[in-house]
A and B are shown apart, each in its own frame.
Chain A
C-alpha cells in the first residue's frame, strides 16, 4: 500500500494478545488488507485500508499483541519499535487505537497505560463487552473518557456493536493527547535516565526529540533486538543498564508497582465488579476440560479427531490433486511432441510440484484446526495440560501442537511454531519437528518393512509393531535432542512459562478462513518457486547425459544421478548400501517418498506407486550384489529404516526452516545434526550387526 498518498493517516491497532485486535481490524478493513513480514523477523505485518465517515482514506496497521512495551519476544519488540518510530519501513503511526479486553480490564490497562504515556492521539476501545457482561463487570466509559480526555468506545467485534461509534472516533482529527501522567520515577532514577538520554543523543543512538521513554525502554528491555540501534551501541547500553541496576536496585520493579498503583486508582473510579467470581461458561467448561481425568480423555478425543481429519479426511482431496496432476501430465503429453522439453514437464515439473502440493489438504485442515483451537481458547488449555510433560525436555506446553502436527508434515509444524512466544523454545521446536515421522516417510517404511518381513511369513502384527517402533524411535530422538539443545546448545536463560487462560469464545470463522488462506498461499508460493526449481534439477540429473538405448535402468546408471550414486558409494558402503540405494537417497532429498519412485526406475519396475508396492518389494527382496549376496538383507533394511527416521531429506522443510528462523544457519545446522545422527546410527547398526554375524 506504498502507493497511498503520504498524507493518508496511519492508525495503529494495539493491545494485549486475544483482545480482539485482528477481529476489529478485519471488520474495519474487510478483505482490503495486505500481509507481509517485518524485515528480519518472522512477525506478520498486516496493513489495510478503510474510509472515515467523511470519505477520507485511512490506513490501518494490525500490530502484534503484547502484554508490555518492555518487550520479551520478537512480536513485542516489533510493537515497541513501530510505536517509537524506529522501523524505517513502517512510519510512526499518527494515531493509535488501543484495544482492551473489557473482561480483563485491569490487566489490559497495564500496556494501555504504557501506550498512553507515549502521548500519541489515542482511542481506547473496550472490546468484548459481552464477555464482561457475563462476568458482571461494569465499566463507566463516559467517566473513563472524561478522566483521560480521549474517546472511549465500547465494542463487540463479533456482533459489530459499537462499530459506528468506533468509525466516528477514527474519523476525528482533533483527538488530543491523553491526560495520563507518566509513571512517577524517583528523582535519582529520573536524573540517571536523563543523563543516559543525553549521552545516547550525542552518540546518535536516538533522535534529538526523544522523550525519557526511549532510554527507559532501551535500559529496561532484556531483549536485545532493538531495531535501528547500532550494535556498537548495545554494549554501551548494557553498561548503562548495569550501572542503573547497581545504583538503584529494583528500579524497574518499583516502576511496575507504581504503574499498577495508578491503575488501581483509575479502576476504583470506573470499574465495578463482583467480589466473588461469577459462574460463567468458561468456569463451567474448565471444570470438565481441565479435569484431571476428563480433561485428558477430552484431549485424546481432540487429538484423535485431528489425526482422523489429517490422515483420513484429507485422503480424498489428496487423491484428487494427484489425479488432477496426473491428468494434466497426460494432457501435456498428448499435446506436445516428444522430446526433452515434454519429458521435463511430464516427468520433472508435474510430479515434483504435485508431490508437494499434495500436502495442501493436510495443511489447510491443520491450520483450520489450529485456528479453531486458538480462537476458542482451547489451545491454552492444551498447553496447560501438556506443559508438565514438555517441561521434562526443557520445552513448554505450547510446543506440543507444532510437534504433533509434524507427524503429518513438518512444514505446517514448523509454521505452527509461530504460536510459541519464547524465541528459544520456538527455535528448539523447529529444530526437532522434522524428527516426527511425517507422512512422506510412510511409503518408504511400508516398502522396506515389506522387504524385511513379507506378509505371510510373519503376521501383519509384526509389521505394525515395527512401524510403531520407528515412530517411537523418531519421537524419542526428538525429545532427546530437545533436551540436548536446551542444555548445551542454546544460550539464554529459560524464559518462564506464563500462560494466559482466556475465556472460551465462539470462533470467528471468517478470520480463521482468512488466516488459513494466507498461510496456504505462502505454502503454494514456495511450491511454485523453490520446489519447482529443485524438481527441474533432479529431473535433469537423472536425464542427462543421455544413453542411446531405451532402457530406463541403463539411463539412470549413466546419468548424473547414477554417477552421483556411485560417487557417494564409498561413503554409504559402511552403512550397507550400494550405489543404487545411493541414487534413492539422493532423490529423497526432494521428498522422502521419492525413494520409492526412484527405486522403481533404478530397478526398471513397471509400477511403483503406493497402492501396489508388491512388484518393487519383490524386486528389492531378490536383488543381489555382483558377488551373489543379497543386497537387502534384514540388517541393511534396518539400517536404511533408521536412516530414514533421522535423516533430514526434505528440501521443502529446509526452505521453510530457513524462512521461519530467518537464516540459513539453523536450516543447515538442522540438516547437519539430523543427517549426521542418521549416518552414525546406521553405521553402528550395520557394523555391529555384521560383526555379530547377521
Chain B
C-alpha cells in the first residue's frame, strides 16, 4: 500500500489517514474537502507526472506532488 497520495496509482482510491497540522499550504486543500477520514481517488496524472487530478467528495481537483506527498493515506 502506498504511503502518500503522491504515490497512489491512477484509478485507485484510499482514505486520508493524516495530514501535518499548521502548514498553510495544506489549509486550502482541507477547505476543499481533504481532511483525515475522507476517501480520495486519483483520476489521472498529467503526461509529465505532475499535476495529479483527484476526486474528493465527488469534486475533481488537481494538485502537485509536493502537496500530495504530505497527505498520508491508508487502504480504502
The chain A residues found within 8 Å of chain B, CB to CB, are: 67-68, 70, 72, 103-107, 110, 135, 137, 222, 245, 249-250, 252-253, 256-257, 260, 273, 277, 286, 290, 292, 295-296, 384-385, 387-389, 391, 397, 493, 495-502
Contacts and interface: CB of A to CB of B under 8 A. Distances in A.
B57 A257 contact: no
Nearest to A137: B58
A493 B31 contact: no
Interface string B13-40: 0000001011011111111110110100
Contacts of B36: 257
Interface residues of B, number: 37
Contacts of B53: 290, 384, 501
B35 A498 contact: no
Nearest to A271: B58
A107 B56 CA distance: 9
Contact of A257 (B35, B47, B62): B35
B3 interface: no
A50 B24 CA distance: 41
B51 A496 contact: no
- Secondary structure dominating the interface of B: mixed
A493 B27 CA distance: 14
Contacts of B25: 493, 495-496
B48 interface: yes
Contact of B51 (A250, A256, A384, A502): A384
Contacts of B57: 106-107
A538 to B, nearest CB: 47
Contacts of A384: 46, 51, 53, 62
A667 to B, nearest CB: 30
Given A256-B31, A499-B51, A273 B46 contact: no
Interface in B47-76: 47-51, 53, 55-64, 66-67
Contacts of B64: 387, 391, 496-497
Q: When A and B form their complex, which 4 residue pairs have the shortest distance between CB atoms, in order from nearest?
A: A250-B21, A501-B60, A292-B47, A106-B57
Contacts of B66: 496
A297 to B, nearest CB: 12
Contacts of A68: 28, 31
A498 B61 contact: yes
A24 B58 CA distance: 24
Contacts of A273: 58
Given A277-B55, A387-B62, 13 more contacts: A72-B28, A106-B58, A107-B59, A245-B22, A249-B22, A295-B47, A384-B51, A384-B53, A388-B48, A391-B64, A496-B25, A496-B28, A499-B61
